[in-house]
């Protein structure tokens, strides 16, 4: 069990560019969550999946954000036309979903939009 992994760990991009992050959950965990954390704040929910189905999207998730989880394994989060306000730590968490509700977080991807 290698834990949740996220790539890249850091991303610096210019305003207006598109970025994509990847999350690999713990093996056989069927729930996968995306959160965003800004400096000095707690993580805020963005979206989550049960296998490949996207169950809920937060109103924080503007039309520029899209997430998918093909085949119910890894997930990607894409931000189009990045803005400076998108600068944050993007965290992924997974849980087994069947009686095991604990959410385990990855190390996060730190996005800086210049």
Partner 1 sequence: QQQVKQSPQSLIVQKGGISIINCAYENTAFDYFPWYQQFPGKGPALLIAIRPDVSEKKEGRFTISFNKSAKQFSLHIMDSQPGDSATYFCAASTNSGNTPLVFGKGTRLSVIA
List interacting residues with partner 1 (CB under 8 A): 4, 31, 33, 35, 40-45, 48, 56, 58, 91, 93, 95, 97, 101-108, 110
Q: Smallest distance from the beta carbon of 14 to partner 1, in angstroms?
A: 23
Nearer to partner 1, 23 or 79 (CB): 23
The least distance separating partner 1 from the CB of residue 81, rounded to whole angstroms, comes to: 25
Burial 62-80, CB ≥16 within 10 A → b, else e: eeebebebeeeebbebebe
Smallest distance, partner 1 to C-beta of residue 37, A: 8
Q: How far is the CB of 59 from partner 1 (least distance, A)?
A: 13
Exposed (0-12), middle (13-18) or buried (19+): which is 14, by Cβ within 10 Å?
Answer: exposed
Q: Is the Cβ of residue 19 or residue 35 nearer to partner 1 in the bound state?
A: 35
User: Is the CB of 66 or the CB of 104 nearer to partner 1?
Assistant: 104
Partners of residue 5 on adjacent β-strands: 24
Show the CA angle centred on residue 95, arms to residues 57 and 47, nearest 5°.
Answer: 10
């Amino acid at each position: 069990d290698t834990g949740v992994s996220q790539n890249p760990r850091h991303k610096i991009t210019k305003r207006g560019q598109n970025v994509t992050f990847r999350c690999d959950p713990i093996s056989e965990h069927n729930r996968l969550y995306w959160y965003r954390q800004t400096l000095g704040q707690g993580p805020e929910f963005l979206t989550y999946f049960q296998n490949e189905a996207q169950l809920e999207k937060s109103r924080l998730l503007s039309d520029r954000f899209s997430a998918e989880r093909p085949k119910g394994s890894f997930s990607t989060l894409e931000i189009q036309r990045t803005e400076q306000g998108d600068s944050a730590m993007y965290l992924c968490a997974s849980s087994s979903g069947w009686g095991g509700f604990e959410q385990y977080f990855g190390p996060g991807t730190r996005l800086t939009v210049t």
